[in-house]
Structure 1
Amino acid sequence: MNLRMAVRSQNMNIWVGSETGILKGVNLAKKQALNFCQISCLSRDQEVCALCWSDPTETEVLVASLDGTVKTFSAEKDLFTESRRCGDATQGRFTGLAMVKDSLVTCVETGVLRVWGPETSGTDESAKHTLEISAGKSVCRMRQNPAKCHVVATGGRENGLKIWDLEKPDQPIFTAKNLRNDWLDLRQPEWVRDLAFIPDSDKVVTCTGHHQVRIYDPSSPQRRPVLEVKYGEYPLTALSVSAGGNTVVVGNTQGHIAMLDLRKKGLVRGCLKGLAGGVRSIQCHPSLPVVASCGLDRFLRVHSLDDRSLLHKVYLKSRLNCLLLSSRDIEQRHSTRETEIEEVKDEGGEDDEVWGAMEEVQEEEEGRRRKRRRKEVVAEEKEEEKKKKKTTKRKKK
């Protein structure tokens, strides 16, 4: 094992999963971005679908792949130490990953939610999982309650929010009710794309493919949303709640990210700029006022929740699916300028070769040149007009 690489992997602030199956680590303080994988064994079947921590000390990362395997990456040893089969590609991609004590919790698109014991081994899939729950069809997301690890929530297309207690799995402890019919007496469609538990409460916030943000309160007798707001006109794809629980950050398919204030009935506090593609994942830091996002434009960005400025930005060469933010303090050695992080090494692949061969455009410098040129042209036009006026006056005299 390369000791230097192991030390680097321990100091990573953000872990990112890509469509090419590569686990990427980013150190914001040292401006480093590294790939952790075997390039020769990469395939589209290993696309990273979900990430989570294996332990509270955050020394191991669980990586769920499209082919149904869940691999364990050790930051201390700088290698993948374990790989186990938790399904197959026919059951759909992973929509959620979590740890409950020593057991692994997985959920796939077909709605199969399973709990895998720590003693799982072998190839017989039926002998490995200790619990199986049917959460309904077309599940888009499964999330764990950070305050109650045995409680998870699921939701999807025409599959409303459900909250499950894994210690009492016979039926959900909360099932959301759809909104009343519209003014034409037509049923309103449901499409939960992402969800999160609000800290220090039992409430759950969801975002939908119909650009709606909804809040549910299981402690109240009302099963319909206690609050609903709409943002934009495009499907919302990801959300995250700030550490204080007062702000929810949502992103859509057009690369728009907005901050909604939950204390003021979902009023838009502001937007985070700079994205150029659909948002795949958003995560707020558990203690700092920063939020990380990634998506189809292949950039990882870190914004400030206080002034909405872009703090860090890194180009990772692949379309990004998910991210995992460390709870450690991020050293922010910057002022108002954004910190550019060095690019990762070439991963191979046709798309990456094309992107790597393209010349980098200096947008700021080009913008300054255009402004100077416009000013020069305007000044020349004014001089010409003055000369014409003088000549006309002379002719009249």
Structure 2
Amino acid sequence: MKWSTANLKNPNYTENHELYVGTSTGTFKRFVPAFEQKPFGQRNLYDINQLERNDRVTALSFGLDTSEIFIGRAKENVHIHSLRSDKVERIINLNYAPVVGLARFNDYLVAGFSNGQVQRVPLEDKSETECIVNSGDDMAHLRQCPSDRNLVATGGKGRQNNLKIFDMAADGKQVFTSKNLPNDYLQLEVPVWDSDVGFIDSPHTLATCSRYGYVRVYDTRKQRRPVQCYATEDQMSFSTLVTHGNYIYTGTTMGVMKAFDIRRMQSFVHTYKGFTGAISDVSLDSTGKYLASASLDRYVRVHHVDSTVLLYQCYVKSKATRVLIRESAENPNSTAAEAAEDDVNEMESTKKLHIKKKDTIPEDKEYEDIFENMQTICENDEEDDVSDSEDVENTTKENDKLAKVGAKRKAEKGLAENKKKKE
């Protein structure tokens, strides 16, 4: 089967992963596929009762390490969720909304917005001034360079919003801007729409994907135009991408996920199946072997990168917009067992407390004597029933005796009359 709507887990999937998913309704959920008892259980890390209409999760990213997650929403603030304390530790107010990308370097937070603005906010020293950079008027995504964290890349719709790189440590200095391909054979401008961007293990090599069906690779040391490009005449609209090594993993709005090799961009090398809706986000683990994806068909999935096997699929109950995957340092099965034992101990302790409370209540002798001397309704009813049944039996016996005596007298009277007639 190409796809299935049931929750499933491949028995070969034994990695201790944790999935963090943001949805269109604003919920932020955690999945633990390695949990043996409930591999499809989902836990809401954000209070559902506090959600509003504009709380849709639009950006997710790790901080300096995988112990904190930045949650960008469709309103003018960012939540910093700590995975150690398992709660939102801080809320940062921003100037614009919605957020399309988040990054952190040193003590700064960088946020990109759909209107093309890039804002740098100091996290520690509030006396420092904020820095705002204009990258255009329509931004689709913002990504951070993993090797040089002060560099961020932006991309959007239109030639004025094409790929750009900014150095946020130098007050948002523009380091690179891409150049479009030459005009086509009709001397018309090639349309540009960079829906997502990503660094390829280097601050000089980048990849972009487009809603117009192309994937491009740039090398900032060589030229402004792409050095490699994949384009197709099919209606393939790319929405998101992630890179690792020499490979680019892309998701489309038609529910197709493909992998490209930058050494030969003429065609894709892998196709990942199982989707029934548009792919909104993709994420790789630290090893680059497991690919997590969020889809608008309300499912989160994990594929093996090389074999393209669907290892995990779970229903999220809402449209999944963003996903992150990380390696957990704890064994979920052992912690679950400890939690179960703690629950049992708590139940036993509560029972003991209740018993102690009952034992310590002073007794009122007069009150107890009243209840002991009172007659129960059930016992009286039973006694009445028994007496009534005995009376009925006695009356029936007496009636039987009278009937026998009457019959005997009638027989004797009949014999006497017969004798008189004969005489």
TM-score (norm 1): 0.74
1:65 maps to 2:73: yes
Unaligned runs of 5+ residues in structure 1 are 1-10, 122-126, 334-397
CA separation of 1:201 and 1:265: change in aligned 2, threshold 3 A: farther
Q: Aligned equivalents of 1:289 and 1:103: distance in 2?
A: 31
1:114 to 113, 119, 122: 119
Identify the residue that residue 347 of structure 1 maps to in structure 2.
none
Deviation per CA, 1:48-95: give whole Å up to 9, x if none: 111122332x222111111111112222222212112113xxx44111
- The answer on whether the counterparts of 1:97 and 1:105 sit within 8 Å (CA) in structure 2 is yes
Alignment of 1:289-308 (within 5 A): 289-308=289-308
Amino acid at match of 1:229: Y
Q: Aligned equivalents of 2:85 and 2:112: distance in 1?
A: 28
Identify the residue that residue 220 of structure 2 maps to in structure 1.
218
Amino acid at match of 2:189: R
Q: Aligned equivalents of 1:119 and 1:41: distance in 2?
A: 27
How far residue 101 of structure 1 moved from its aligned partner, in angstroms, is: 1.1
Higher Cα radius of gyration: 2
Identify the residue that residue 82 of structure 1 maps to in structure 2.
90
Identify the residue that residue 230 of structure 1 maps to in structure 2.
231
- The answer on whether the counterparts of 1:28 and 1:330 sit within 8 Å (CA) in structure 2 is no
- The answer on whether the counterparts of 1:52 and 1:98 sit within 8 Å (CA) in structure 2 is yes
- The answer on whether the counterparts of 1:69 and 1:84 sit within 8 Å (CA) in structure 2 is yes
- The answer on whether the counterparts of 2:60 and 2:72 sit within 8 Å (CA) in structure 1 is yes
Q: Aligned equivalents of 1:283 and 1:313: distance in 2?
A: 15
- The answer on whether the counterparts of 1:12 and 1:25 sit within 8 Å (CA) in structure 2 is no
Amino acid at match of 2:162: G
How far residue 171 of structure 1 moved from its aligned partner, in angstroms, is: 4.0
Q: Aligned equivalents of 1:142 and 1:77: distance in 2?
A: 28
How far residue 329 of structure 1 moved from its aligned partner, in angstroms, is: 7.9
Alignment of 1:139-150 (within 5 A): 139-150=139-150
Amino acid at match of 2:24: E
1:168 maps to 2:176: no
1:49 to 58, 62, 65: 58
Q: Aligned equivalents of 1:280 and 1:128: distance in 2?
A: 36
1:17 maps to 2:19: no
Identify the residue that residue 375 of structure 1 maps to in structure 2.
none
Amino acid at match of 1:76: R
Q: Aligned equivalents of 1:286 and 1:226: distance in 2?
A: 27
Alignment of 1:345-384 (within 5 A): none
Amino acid at match of 2:253: T
- The answer on whether the counterparts of 2:138 and 2:156 sit within 8 Å (CA) in structure 1 is yes
TM-score (norm 2): 0.70
How far residue 213 of structure 1 moved from its aligned partner, in angstroms, is: 0.1
How far residue 111 of structure 1 moved from its aligned partner, in angstroms, is: 1.1
How many residue pairs are counted as aligned between the two chains? Answer: 310
Identify the residue that residue 354 of structure 1 maps to in structure 2.
none
Deviation per CA, 1:291-327: give whole Å up to 9, x if none: 0101210100000011100011111100011112215
1:101 maps to 2:133: no
Q: Aligned equivalents of 2:81 and 2:273: distance in 1?
A: 33
1:44 counterpart SS class: coil
2:148 counterpart SS class: coil
Identify the residue that residue 181 of structure 1 maps to in structure 2.
183
Alignment of 1:22-41 (within 5 A): 22-30=27-35, 31=39, 32-41=41-50
Deviation per CA, 1:150-178: give whole Å up to 9, x if none: 00101100111001111234641111001
- The answer on whether the counterparts of 1:29 and 1:330 sit within 8 Å (CA) in structure 2 is no
CA separation of 1:129 and 1:291: change in aligned 2, threshold 3 A: farther
2:188 counterpart SS class: coil
Alpha-carbon RMSD? 2.1
- The answer on whether the counterparts of 1:114 and 1:129 sit within 8 Å (CA) in structure 2 is no
- The answer on whether the counterparts of 2:132 and 2:172 sit within 8 Å (CA) in structure 1 is no
Unaligned runs of 5+ residues in structure 2 are 1-15, 334-423
Amino acid at match of 1:68: E
2:170 counterpart SS class: coil
- The answer on whether the counterparts of 2:217 and 2:262 sit within 8 Å (CA) in structure 1 is no
- The answer on whether the counterparts of 1:19 and 1:44 sit within 8 Å (CA) in structure 2 is no
Q: Aligned equivalents of 1:276 and 1:237: distance in 2?
A: 15
1:172 counterpart SS class: strand
Identify the residue that residue 252 of structure 1 maps to in structure 2.
252
How far residue 141 of structure 1 moved from its aligned partner, in angstroms, is: 0.7
- The answer on whether the counterparts of 1:120 and 1:129 sit within 8 Å (CA) in structure 2 is no
How far residue 128 of structure 1 moved from its aligned partner, in angstroms, is: 7.5
1:174 counterpart SS class: strand
Q: Aligned equivalents of 1:116 and 1:247: distance in 2?
A: 33
Amino acid at match of 1:263: R
Amino acid at match of 2:121: W
Amino acid at match of 2:284: C
Q: Aligned equivalents of 1:94 and 1:25: distance in 2?
A: 21
- The answer on whether the counterparts of 1:288 and 1:329 sit within 8 Å (CA) in structure 2 is no
1:133 counterpart SS class: strand
CA separation of 1:303 and 1:329: change in aligned 2, threshold 3 A: farther
How far residue 12 of structure 1 moved from its aligned partner, in angstroms, is: 6.6
Identify the residue that residue 321 of structure 1 maps to in structure 2.
321
Deviation per CA, 1:13-63: give whole Å up to 9, x if none: 12111111111111121113211111212122111111122332x222111
Identify the residue that residue 366 of structure 1 maps to in structure 2.
none
CA separation of 1:73 and 1:170: change in aligned 2, threshold 3 A: closer
Amino acid at match of 1:55: L
1:40 counterpart SS class: helix
